[in-house]
Chains A and B, each alone.
Chain A
Amino acid sequence: MPSAKLELRSIAMVFSSSAGAVDALTPVSFAIEEGSFVSVIGPSGCGKSTLFNIIAGLQAPSGGSVVIDDEDATGTIGRVGYMLQKDLLLPWRTVLDNVVLGMEIKGVSRQRAHATALPYLARYGLGGFEHRYPRELSGGMRQRAALLRTLLLDTDVILLDEPFGALDAQTRASMQEWLLQLWADFRKTVVFVTHDVDEAIYLSDEIVVMSARPGRVVDRIAVPLARPRPRLITNAREFIAIKERCLDHLAPPVAECAA
């Protein structure tokens, strides 16, 4: 049995402010196998981004621990690649210089970082844009650059927080293919947040469903569809069954809402 790459042990988060305490996460626990693609879905405000911040070490949890490779990684930074909701490309850097930022921070010389990054840019659809500035790029291109920046940090685990949320449907579809290609090439463990159920099923090996605030895991759904998956798999019976199960959790019956 493959070992767990990333394990969350009873992660809890309470935000306290003058207005009172907000329970963002009640103990959340799950483990993710090495090399798998796991999506997290849940209503807006259920604590998905908070969970990612905790895994990335940017926020201390109120309780619990993050375990990576059987080591306590709570509160350590630079250990997982994290792509935040915005692309956050630096406007004063070229695409190439943006993409090598992670390596630069790790102390790799610019020259070596450039040499490493250039083939990737060419291979993953940014060829010819290396020396352009982010403002000259389309939304899809910017997302690609941001994702490559995350990947080139060379961490085993990658967290992606709604990376395609702001893209139009067509760009989104091509970005999904692109991401799967990257995942197949790099063999990373990916945790992916999205609010699009179709996207989650299409991409993932497993889906973690979270409840509305305070966030907790209400279901874990395996997606046993063979890869590579055709685009029209969305019409397949198994696909629809998984989708119904997801939507059941996300949209409670009307009567329950009114109560």
Chain B
Amino acid sequence: MRRFAGFRFPSVFLGHRAYRRLPVQHEWAPRWIMAAQILLVVALIGGWQAAASWKIIDPFFWSQPSAIWHTLTLFFLKGDAVTDIAYTFEATIIGFVVGTIAGSLLGLSFWWSRNYAAIVQPFIICFESIPKLALAPLIILIFGIGMTSKVAIAVALTVVVSTLTTYAGVKAVDPDSERLFYSLGASRFQVFRKLVIPAVMPWTISVLRVNIGLALTGAIVGEFISSQHGLGREILYAGQTYDIALVWVAVLVLAAFSMIMYVAVSQLEKLLRKGVAH
């Protein structure tokens, strides 16, 4: 005992100083966050412009903000901006609507027969595992280079997601609720309309935002492969002619367009959720 009498734990292991405080993050006011974001964008564009002017990066391949701005105004004032946007928009929306509705109906249909669901399901999974874009050239051959083929690719991308998600919703319908309905003397159709559809709606709605992105991807890829209009075709054409500023312009327009659609679908989702909840 005595031998250790002189030993003492370092003070940090004793007393209150050893305890940590709960880490606290101070959140900035929204306007400071916004200011930081604007600063970041300005720095990025300024840096790009400077780097291109001083030949740190090759302006031929990278283009530069001033040239992009110039091309952007040309694209909207003299170019095909409106035609291209309208074309891509139309293909995306039709593909989105058709794919989502068809997929949801297919998913719901599985509720009616377990045998039918068991027979069809492997094929759906199989179709899901194929990279659908690999089928795009085939789809163009079948449906031609017009709008139909773009829509078809968008549908191919969206329909499976909707089907599988809706079917997952169908499988998640509480069997006890189903028994309750039958105990009240319900017909199968009544169970379907009053229980299955409302219960599955949130699942169906949850894929809308994913699907709008997929539909846009489908439309753009269709335009890449063969098309006479659309933002995808614009990007491909500009790339092939080394008009890098135009590539950037088309990509920017596409990004803005995609964000607008995303926000619109988010609003739609909110609206539908309210409709289901009430």
Contacts and interface: CB of A to CB of B under 8 A. Distances in A.
Interface of A: 53, 56-58, 77-82, 84, 86, 88, 90, 92, 101-102, 104-106, 133, 153
Given A78-B186, A106-B185, 11 more contacts: A77-B183, A77-B185, A78-B182, A80-B183, A81-B183, A84-B179, A84-B180, A84-B183, A102-B184, A105-B184, A153-B185
A88 B182 contact: no
A86 B182 contact: no
Q: Is the interface of B mostly helix, strand, loop or mixed?
A: helix
B182 A77 contact: yes
A58 B179 contact: yes
Interface string B142-184: 0000000000000000000000000000000010110111111
A88 B177 contact: yes
Given A90-B195, A92-B276, A104-B194, A56 B183 contact: yes
B101 to A, nearest CB: 21
B277 A92 contact: yes
Contacts of A105: 181, 184-186, 190, 194
Contacts of A106: 184-185
B47 interface: no
Contacts of A88: 174, 176-177, 180
B80 to A, nearest CB: 47
Contacts of A133: 277
Nearest to B278: A92
Interface string B172-208: 0010110111111110001000110010000000000
Contacts of A80: 183
* Most chain A CB atoms below 10 A, which of B179, B183, B186, B190: B183
B177 A90 contact: yes
Interface residues of B, number: 18
Closest 7 CB pairs of A and B: A78-B185, A82-B183, A102-B184, A88-B180, A105-B186, A56-B183, A105-B184
Interface in B53-87: none
A35 B186 CA distance: 26
A75 to B, nearest CB: 11
B184 A153 contact: yes
Give chain A's interface secondary structure class: loop
Nearest to A55: B183
Contacts of A101: 184, 194
Nearest to B181: A105
B184 A58 contact: no
Nearest to A56: B183
Interface string B256-278: 00000000000000000000111
A90 B195 CA distance: 8
A49 to B, nearest CB: 11
B182 A58 contact: yes
A90 to B, nearest CB: 7
22 contacts: A57-B182, A57-B183, A58-B182, A77-B183, A77-B185, A78-B183, A78-B184, A81-B183, A82-B183, A84-B176, A84-B183, A88-B176, A88-B177, A90-B177, A90-B198, A92-B277, A92-B278, A101-B194, A102-B184, A105-B185, A105-B190, A153-B184
B219 to A, nearest CB: 34
A86 B190 CA distance: 21
Contact of A86 (B176, B184, B194): B176
Contacts of A56: 183
A84 B174 CA distance: 13
A78 B184 CA distance: 5
Contacts of B182: 57-58, 77-78
Contacts of B194: 101, 104-105
B247 to A, nearest CB: 48
A73 to B, nearest CB: 12
A125 B70 CA distance: 72
Interface in B220-278: 276-278
Contacts of A53: 179
Contacts of B180: 82, 84, 88
A88 B185 CA distance: 16
B183 A58 contact: yes
A110 B195 CA distance: 16
B171 to A, nearest CB: 18
A15 to B, nearest CB: 16
A78 B186 CA distance: 7
A105 B180 CA distance: 11
Contacts of A81: 183
A84 B179 CA distance: 9
B174 to A, nearest CB: 7
Contacts of A90: 177, 195, 198
Nearest to B198: A92
A173 to B, nearest CB: 26
A58 B182 CA distance: 7
B269 to A, nearest CB: 16
